[in-house]
């Protein structure tokens, strides 16, 4: 398998550019919190010969591919099977107190999307799995079989931002009485049948439902709420964190965490800002940066990306 044929790392050069000031020194440590098939990791290890990389991933298939791909750098890598909110425990287990850089490339990996049997795509029939970690128990099939209509409506609305959440939840509960949902094509058929034609013209009717199910299966937003602060805590002074998000719910969590860390915590009205209230991070990028037209043309998966970066400027008092 030629990994470059199926995996073009998103915003690779921009990520290298943003992290270089923190990593261009002897003994630097980078955490790739979403290792995937190691496209970003390989580039960083190649360009920084003194770099040690800690790669985290919940997907055992991805870890196996990454380990093989990074064989030339075996003496400079530590690969850990964990969800990225386990970054603190992973670093503790390796005896690493601080790191110089952290990279998050959120969402579904190329490996998960391109392997039909994983069930992430609404465009190809597959088992309703959607687990990023094959050792976990919750699947999309379990959710569709066991969640109440109210809970289905909630996740479609909150995680899919789906306007027809109530209609879809009702249709699923009615359909599963006769036939359990086990394949993605069954779910697509039920959703399509109750979607107005005018709405179908605006995009695939199952897109947001599949996103919501994937987020619920993998608890992506809850994990991210814990992971970003934990990662920021691990960053050394002058170190940097770079995050690529692909949908608004993820980006909102990152934006909020960065904003809090880069703002004064002093109560309003104080005549002078005490040292303990000063920001601990500064924003490297104001707002979110989008992919260029050229990047989107080369790598369509970069189209929705929102990139944010921050640098630690001091430790909290």
Query: Is 112 annotated as contributing to ligand binding?
Result: yes
φ, ψ (nearest 5 deg) of residue 10: -75, 135
* 182 and 233 both lie in a single domain: no
* 203 and 292 both lie in a single domain: no
Task: Give the CATH number for residue 179.
Answer: 1.10.150.170
Residue 77 belongs to some domain of the structure? yes
Coil, helix or strand at residue 85: helix
Residue 120 belongs to some domain of the structure? no
Query: Is 222 annotated as contributing to ligand binding?
Result: no
Q: Output the CA–CA distances (angstroms, integers) from residue 5 to 8, 35, 110, 131, 245, in the order listed.
A: 7, 18, 11, 24, 23
Query: Is 294 annotated as contributing to ligand binding?
Result: no
| Domain containing residue 31 | 3-105+220-312
Q: Which residues pair with 103 in a beta bridge?
A: 32, 242
Is pTM beyond 0.85? Reply is yes
Query: Is 105 annotated as contributing to ligand binding?
Result: yes
- At residue 133, the pLDDT reads 87
pLDDT in tens, the chain (317 residues): 445 445 689 999 999 999 999 999 999 999 999 999 999 999 999 999 999 999 999 999 899 999 999 999 999 999 999 999 999 999 999 999 999 999 999 987 666 566 666 777 888 899 999 998 888 899 999 999 999 999 999 999 999 999 999 999 999 999 999 999 999 999 999 999 999 999 999 999 999 999 999 999 999 999 999 999 999 999 999 999 999 999 999 999 999 999 999 997 666 656 666 666 689 999 999 999 999 999 999 888 899 999 999 999 998 76
* Domain end (from 174, 197, 218): 218
Query: Is 57 annotated as contributing to ligand binding?
Result: yes
Query: Is 2 annotated as contributing to ligand binding?
Result: no
* 82 and 163 both lie in a single domain: no
* 233 and 296 both lie in a single domain: yes
* Domain end (from 200, 218, 236): 218
* Domain end (from 189, 218, 247): 218
Helices (H) and strands (E) in the chain, counts: 15, 7
* 161 and 301 both lie in a single domain: no
Cα 129 from Cα 100, distance rounded (Å): 36
* 198 and 273 both lie in a single domain: no
DSSP 54: E
pLDDT tens for residues 31-82?
Answer: 999 999 999 999 999 999 999 999 999 999 899 999 999 999 999 999 999 9
Q: Which two tokens stand for residue 292?
A: 């260029």
What's the number of domains the chain is made of? 2
pLDDT tens for residues 304-315?
Answer: 999 999 999 998
Query: Is 269 annotated as contributing to ligand binding?
Result: no
Residue 39 belongs to some domain of the structure? yes
Q: Which two tokens stand for residue 82?
A: 């964990």
Give Dmax (Cα) for the chain: 69
């Amino acid at each position: 398998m030629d990994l470059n044929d199926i995996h073009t790392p998103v915003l690779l050069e921009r990520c290298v550019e943003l992290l270089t000031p923190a990593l261009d020194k002897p003994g630097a440590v980078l955490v790739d919190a979403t290792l995937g098939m190691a496209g970003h990791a390989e580039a960083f290890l190649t360009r920084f010969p003194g770099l040690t990389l800690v790669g985290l991933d919940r997907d055992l298939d991805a870890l196996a591919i990454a380990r093989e791909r990074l064989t030339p750098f075996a003496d400079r890598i530590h690969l850990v099977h964990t969800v990225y909110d386990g970054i603190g425990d992973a670093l503790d287990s390796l005896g690493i107190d601080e790191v110089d850089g952290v990279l998050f490339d959120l969402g579904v990996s190329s490996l998960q999307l391109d392997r039909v049997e994983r069930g992430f795509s609404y465009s190809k029939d597959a088992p309703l799995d959607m687990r990023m970690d094959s050792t976990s128990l919750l699947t999309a099939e379990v959710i569709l079989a066991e969640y109440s209509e109210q809970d289905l409506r909630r996740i479609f609305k909150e995680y899919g931002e789906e306007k027809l959440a109530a209609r879809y939840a009702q249709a699923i509960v009615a359909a599963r009485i006769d036939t359990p949902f086990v394949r993605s094509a069954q779910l697509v058929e039920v959703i399509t049948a109750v979607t107005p034609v005018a709405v179908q013209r605006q995009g695939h009717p199952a897109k947001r439902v599949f996103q919501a199910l994937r987020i619920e299966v993998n608890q992506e937003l809850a994990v991210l709420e814990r992971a970003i602060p934990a990662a920021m805590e691990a960053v050394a002074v002058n170190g940097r964190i770079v995050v690529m998000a692909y949908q608004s719910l993820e980006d909102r969590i990152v934006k909020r965490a960065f904003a809090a860390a880069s703002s004064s915590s002093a109560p309003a009205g104080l005549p002078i800002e005490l040292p303990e209230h000063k920001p601990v991070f500064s924003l490297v990028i104001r707002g979110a940066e989008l992919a260029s037209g050229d990047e989107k043309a080369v790598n369509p998966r970069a189209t929705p990306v929102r990139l944010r970066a921050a640098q630690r400027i001091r430790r909290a008092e």
